[in-house]
Amino acid sequence: MVNKISYDSKQRDSPLQQLTSDAVIEVNIEIPFAFRAIPVQAIESTGSQVLDQILRIMLPRFMAQLVKDYQAWASGDASRQPLGTGQI
């Protein structure tokens, strides 16, 4: 999966600001011997469709939360603390 989020900086003076997300999801699998009667393309296509539908539900929610988080950060709201230390 690849998700690219962008902001149109040309509309900086506009009261309406917009984030755009371009997401691509792809399924590739290796089929065990017991399931080789089913064509790989059929399984991959079905998997891609299922994940695409899940992405269509999750991505708008993620984008809405991203906007809320940015607005809180931009207003100086420091009430939200990081969940981790940032270290691996």
Domain segments of the chain: what residues? 5-75
pLDDT value of position 12: 66
Q: Return all residues near 26 (Cβ < 8 A) that are at least 6 apart.
A: 1, 48
Pairwise CA distance, residues 60 & 16, whole Å: 18
- As a whole number of angstroms, the distance between CA 59 and CA 73 comes to 21
CA distance 28 to 51: 12
CA 35/CA 44 separation, integer angstroms: 13
- Residue 83 confidence (pLDDT): 63
Q: Provide the whole-model pTM.
A: 0.59
* 3-state DSSP assignment of residue 59: helix
**What is the phi/psi pair of residue 13, to 5°?**
-85, -5
Per-residue pLDDT of the chain (88 residues; tens, 9 = 90+): 888 888 876 766 777 777 888 888 877 778 788 777 878 888 888 888 898 898 888 888 888 888 888 888 888 877 776 666 666 5
